[in-house]
Amino acid sequence: MSLTSKTIVITGASSGIGAETARLARFMGAKVIGMDRNDPAITLDGFVQVDLSDPASIDAAVSALPERVDALVNAAGISGLADRDLVAKVNYLGLRHLTEALVPRLSGGAVVNVTSILGFDWQARLDAHKALAETADFAAGLKWLADNPVPQETCYQYFKEALVVWTKKRGYRLFMDHDIRVNSVAPGPVMTPILGEFVQMLGEERVAADAANIKRPAIADEIAPPILFLCSDAARWITGINLPVDGGIDALYT
């Protein structure tokens, strides 16, 4: 599997899964352009600062990207400790806005979204997630959410579920119309800077119960290779999947 001569844009490239994916992609021969609110701490081939909660910032960032992009990795995200409206913008609406803006540059390429094992129950709210997925743009999505408010305590899970559904629905259409593959990976707990926030978000009792059923949290360099596989030509006939990369947690729900 090679990424030689491919141009890959990675959001959240300044830390965690995004940074590790950027490092590995460059090692595999790709030209990597990072996008993040914070300056990168790793070597990149280019960097564009962006606020994914602001569509104007996203549009300005897109104008600074190359005319041809082979893959987009949407790895940026915030925990459910943030206000639910900000979680909606960063983890779903902004991600979607960026992806749609890059469609003309991605023909024949790939998009990989980072969801979460916490989005495993997406089918329980499928109708709502479909309705949100069908909103036309960032502003329409905000209006839909104002009319259908999401509880603060489960907003992280909700928008990861919504992202799974959008990946499947939009992934099918983009593949048929533009030959763009859209997939997602769903990590379990990962040793990243925001892991402690997830402990606060879920509560120590829930975390302890989950910890008893897994070997350990993942390391970011265990998540990056499946992401880059889905970016590569080796995955040219895969679209619309949500791949658990979680050390077996998904199997517990079967």
Residues belonging to the active site: 156
| Dihedral sign of CA atoms 37, 39, 42, 43 in order | positive
Cα-to-chain-centroid distance, residue 254: 24
| Dihedral sign of CA atoms 212, 213, 215, 218 in order | negative
* Alpha-carbon span 188 to 205, nearest angstrom: 17
* Alpha-carbon span 183 to 180, nearest angstrom: 10
List, in sequence order, the alpha helices (H) in the chain. 16-27, 55-63, 84-88, 94-102, 126-133, 138-147, 155-178, 195-202, 204-211, 220-231, 249-252
Beta strands in 95-187 (DSSP E): 110-114, 181-187
Please report which helix (H) or strand (E) contains residue 75, including its range: none
* Alpha-carbon span 188 to 190, nearest angstrom: 6
Question: Which two structure tokens, joined as six digits, stand for 110?
Answer: 């790939």
Task: List the beta bridge partners of residue 190.
Answer: 218
| Dihedral sign of CA atoms 51, 56, 61, 66 in order | positive
Q: How many CB atoms lie within 10 A of CB 88?
A: 22
* Alpha-carbon span 168 to 36, nearest angstrom: 25
